Amino acid sequence: MNFEYFIAKRIIDSKAYKSSVSAPIIKIGIAAIAIGIIVMMISIATGIGLQHKIRDKVVAFNGDIMISKFGDNNSQESESPLSLNQDFYPDFNSVDGVSHIQGVATKFGIIRTEDDFEAIIVKGVGTDYRWDYFQEYLVEGSLPKYTDSYSEDVLISQYIANRLHLKLGDTIQTYFINNDFNQQPRILPYKIVGIYNSGFQEFDKTYVISHIKHLQRINKWEKNHVGHFELFVDDYSNLDVIRDQVYENTPPEYNTVTVEKKFDTIFEWISIFVKNIYGIIGIMVLVAGFNMITALLVLILERTQMIGVLKALGSNNWTIRKIFLYNASYLIVLGLIWGNVIGLGILLTQKYFKIFPLDPNVYYVTEAPVYLSFTYIAALNIGTFILCLLMLMIPSYIITKISPVKAMRFE
């Protein structure tokens, strides 16, 4: 058995060690490591979870990449139609990483009831529409099923339904302004078949999902015309690379914009979460490290006579330092174990029982989302262990200054 490890283990297993003067300080050091890892795990899990959740909500309404004619990129309403007869539709095979492409159109409208009205954007979608996200957001009814025939079925948000006192099965009158302002507004009846709630109020209070054929008829477009294309990617981390490739593989009169570019304010805001996470990790590692330094110094002070005896028997400074570093490693690991047990318990409770709500008007979500990954949990534990151990290398140097003669007389 390794000599240094053997001595360190004997110290740890000693009853005198557990009831010594240093015991409370050691417990504080272990608690600091545990609290640090809990706070870091929660900050990473909720920070990344919030980023992903908000990003997914924005992508649900807009796709990862949008293709439209130049000049239409900042418009909320489709102005210049694009033909579905494209080399890149219905499958964008020329670019790796594009999982889906769909043609959609948008138009401003007004829902009017007997008592109230609400300005909205009607998003027209067709048979190629990807409903994955809205399946998750659906709170009542069912998703519309569009075919090549006209359908009056629509999906509205819970926000709009509550505002206008609407329910499933109701027929709503929607007014559309013609491009020719001299003509009367067009009125279309829609039947509510589903109600969704994404928790992203900025979009919930705006979007109603309908059949694209209605917008084609109002805009006097051909049946193969859409307002723009929405693309979804397999790997979001490669979004900018895929966007450049998509741009190179589309006609020169078409522009491609990523969802991050179109909604840059939202994505700049959620990018702050990463900076906050780094700040929290740095602070907690320093706090835990300094507590362990204090515990190590107390251990060295308490074992001064033992250090003198070991030096007198021929042990060198590095051998003795390793004994105390083994001891400190045990305390760090103990703190990490407790921190992981408690931290994962809190995160799993939040993930499945959602006990901590958030204000959707501020955070765009109704509860604190949790992102769990073995990769970041392992990296966090390994990184904390290594950094704390490196911080302990400096105070362990004090052992080299202890004289054997003076140490053996130390009381």
Q: Which two tokens stand for residue 249?
A: 């593989």
Select from 129, 133, 196, 201 the least CA-distant residue to 161: 196
Position 62 scores a pLDDT of 93
Question: pTM of whole model > 0.85?
Answer: no
The pLDDT-based confidence of 15 (bands split at 50, 70, 90) is low
Lowest mean pLDDT among 11-20, 52-61, 337-346, 387-396: 11-20
Calculate ∠ Cα 344-199-141, nearest 5°: 110
Position 114 scores a pLDDT of 85
Q: Can you tell me the mean pLDDT for 391-409?
A: 72
C-beta separation of 147 from 127 below 8 A: yes
C-beta separation of 298 from 396 below 8 A: no
Lowest mean pLDDT among 67-81, 83-97, 104-118, 161-175: 67-81
Rounded Cα distance, 29 and 32, in Å: 5
Rounded Cα distance, 172 and 161, in Å: 11
Rounded Cα distance, 345 and 189, in Å: 50
C-beta separation of 32 from 296 below 8 A: no
Whether the pLDDT of residue 97 is over 60: the answer is yes
Domain coordinates of the chain in residue numbers?
A: 3-57+267-408, 71-252
Q: Can you tell me the mean pLDDT for 341-363?
A: 89
Position 24 scores a pLDDT of 83
The pLDDT-based confidence of 161 (bands split at 50, 70, 90) is very high
Position 182 scores a pLDDT of 61
Q: Can you tell me the mean pLDDT for 245-262?
A: 93
Position 119 scores a pLDDT of 92
C-beta separation of 289 from 391 below 8 A: yes
Burial class (CB in 10 A: 0-12, 13-18, 19+), 50: buried
Strand partners for 216: none
What is the enclosing helix (H) or strand (E) of 190? Answer: strand 186-196
The pLDDT-based confidence of 162 (bands split at 50, 70, 90) is very high
Side chain identity, residue 160: I
Select from 109, 78, 108, 117 the least CA-distant residue to 174: 109
Q: Can you tell me the mean pLDDT for 12-30?
A: 72
C-beta separation of 336 from 386 below 8 A: no
The pLDDT-based confidence of 17 (bands split at 50, 70, 90) is low
**213 CA to centre of own chain:** 36
Q: Can you tell me the mean pLDDT for 90-117?
A: 92
Select from 379, 392, 270, 380 the least CA-distant residue to 323: 392
Whether the pLDDT of residue 73 is over 60: the answer is no
The pLDDT-based confidence of 19 (bands split at 50, 70, 90) is low
Coil/strand/helix, residue 316? coil
DSSP state for residue 185 in the 8-state scheme: P
Coil/strand/helix, residue 144? coil
Residues 30-55: tens digit of each pLDDT: 899 999 999 999 999 999 998 899 99
> In sequence order, what are the residues at sequence separation of 6 or more whose Cβ sits closer than 8 angstroms to the Cβ of residue 250?
67, 86, 88, 256
Whether the pLDDT of residue 60 is over 60: the answer is yes
Rounded Cα distance, 28 and 16, in Å: 18
Rounded Cα distance, 248 and 34, in Å: 51
Lowest mean pLDDT among 144-148, 367-371, 403-407: 403-407
Portion of the chain with pLDDT greater than 90, in percent: 53
Whether the pLDDT of residue 16 is over 60: the answer is no
Pair type for strands 117-125 and 207-211: parallel
C-beta separation of 91 from 101 below 8 A: yes
